[in-house]
């Protein structure tokens, strides 16, 4: 079985591209998956774990009005986190996670509500919403897997050759059972 983090880093390396990660509910788990891969430093720039809502605005340039109106668990917040970490850390690609791992609901969202987003060159921006079940550890682990899969898919479908700009996207993927629609 191929590790998705290693596959993503290989795809980035082949394109001469870099990655930065912004995490909330996953608390560094996504970054840990990337840094566990030997040679990750060729493409992985770093990460920001913005667990507190105000840090999303201060460190990742998420619109404070958006956070005040919708809370931190929102697809637009995930998109802004991905774009913000990409800009702040000087990376070609940004990946973000935000959501509610439990034990309690947050911002009126039930436990298991999760958004992951990818931002890339040429205005590429994609988010996916999920409604996951299970305990806190399971929700966080599944979020990491979905985030890595989304980034891998974005790299494969969105950027064919080095320097080529992918088509701009700004949408929620349906993805079937378990996904949220705004």
Note the pLDDT tens digit of each residue in 140-150: 999 999 999 99
User: Quick one: pLDDT at residue 157?
Assistant: 87
Which pTM does this prediction carry? 0.87
Torsions phi, psi for 109 (to 5 deg): -105, 135
pLDDT band, residue 158 (cuts 50/70/90): low
Distances (CA, A) of 20 to 30, 35, 179: 10, 12, 25
Mean pLDDT score, 68-76: 97
182: exposed, middle or buried (C-beta count within 10 Å: 0-12, 13-18, 19+)? exposed
Residue 171 pLDDT exceeds 80: no
Mean pLDDT score, 27-51: 98
142 neighbors 132 (Cβ within 8 angstroms): yes
CA pair distance 37, 122, nearest whole angstrom: 27
**Mind listing the pLDDT tens digit for each residue in 89-115?**
999 999 999 999 999 999 899 999 999
Which domains are delineated in the chain? Answer: 4-170 (3.90.950.20)
């Amino acid at each position: 079985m191929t590790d998705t983090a290693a596959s993503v880093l290989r795809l980035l390396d082949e394109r001469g591209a870099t990655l930065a990660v912004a995490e909330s509910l996953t608390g560094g788990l996504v970054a840990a998956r990337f840094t566990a891969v030997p040679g990750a430093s060729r493409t992985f720039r770093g990460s920001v774990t913005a667990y507190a809502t105000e840090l999303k605005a201060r460190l990742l340039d998420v619109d404070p009005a958006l956070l005040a109106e919708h809370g931190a668990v929102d697809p637009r917040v995930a998109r802004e986190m991905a774009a913000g970490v990409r800009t702040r850390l000087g990376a070609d690609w940004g990946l973000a996670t935000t959501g509610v791992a439990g034990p309690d609901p947050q911002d009126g969202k039930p436990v298991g509500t999760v958004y992951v987003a990818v931002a890339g060159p040429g205005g590429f921006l994609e988010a996916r919403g999920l409604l996951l079940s299970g305990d806190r550890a399971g929700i966080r682990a599944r979020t990491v897997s979905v985030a890595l899969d989304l980034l891998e898919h974005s790299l494969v479908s969105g950027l064919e050759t080095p320097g080529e700009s992918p088509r701009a996207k700004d949408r929620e993927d349906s993805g079937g059972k378990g996904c949220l629609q705004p």
